[in-house]
Amino acid sequence: MMTVQDVLDIAKLKLSNSAISKNENALIKFIYLGVSELFNRFNLSVKSETIRLNENLAMYSLRNDDVSMLLNLYNREGTELKQSDTINGRDWDYKLVSYKSFLLNKPVNGLLYAVYKASPIVLHDGKDIIDLPDAMIDALLSYVCYMGCSTINRDNMNETSMWLQAFEKACMALEMQGYKIPLNTETLGVLVKGYA
């Protein structure tokens, strides 16, 4: 695992001809944006949260701070609940209210398991650990350089375009290596039941 300082040092070398290379706070923010982009593209973190239900309460919200998107709900037996987006639909177990809140059709006392796509931890300084596979560091550096060039050096679109292409190429290579985690329900069901 690399630290933010490790990535900062390399990014400063790659951006040495740009004024942004001297602005560590901006570079740390670019690193976080790059980590977030990679988390989103490759579904790097899928987590679950246990929710205690009450038959008198229909609206629930996930408590964890890292929720990026609620994916599925499962009952105690591991059966996936049916989601509906239609207002007047009759055959549904829950409806999404927001990215982390839902409305249960027939709440009962017991437990429910929510599976969600998680965001990365926020990066604050050079000592923070970057929670990415080592194979993704090249893509991350390309993203940081792309953001640095597009923010500061708007006149040189060739360099900006070069870094964006390098990032997209690195992401395609990672996909071909199998780094993208599918978010289909079959895979998630196995994760929730503890077999993954």
Q: What is the pLDDT of residue 152?
A: 66
pLDDT at 189 over 80: no
Task: Return the HEC string of the chain.
Answer: CEEHHHHHHHHHHHCCCCHHHHCHHHHHHHHHHHHHHHHHHHCCCEEEEEEEECCCCCEEECCCCCEEEEEEEECCCCCECCECCCCCCCCCCEEECCCCEEEECCCCCEEEEEEEEECCCCCCCCCCEECCCHHHHHHHHHHHHHHHHHHHCCCCHHHHHHHHHHHHHHHHHHHHCCCCCCCCHHHHHHHHCCCC
Q: What is the pLDDT of residues 135-187, one digit of tens each?
A: 999 999 999 999 988 876 566 678 889 999 999 999 999 999 998 878 764 44
What is the rounded distance in angstroms from the CA atom of residue 147 to the CA atom of residue 29? 10
Range 104-115 average pLDDT: 93
Specify the pLDDT at position 162: 93
Find out whether 129 and 48 touch, Cβ atoms under 8 Å.
no
Q: How confident is the model at residue 87 (pLDDT cuts 50, 70, 90)?
A: low
CB atoms near residue 161 (< 10 Å): 13
Contact status, residue 114 vs residue 106, Cβ threshold 8 Å: no
CA distances for 108 relative to 52, 55, 59, 94, angstroms:
10, 4, 12, 13
Q: Mind listing the pLDDT tens digit for each residue in 14-73?
A: 998 888 889 999 999 999 999 999 999 999 999 999 999 999 999 999 999 999 999 999
Give the pLDDT score at 20: 87
Question: Residue 191: is its pLDDT beyond 60?
Answer: no
pLDDT tens per residue, range 117-129: 999 999 999 999 9
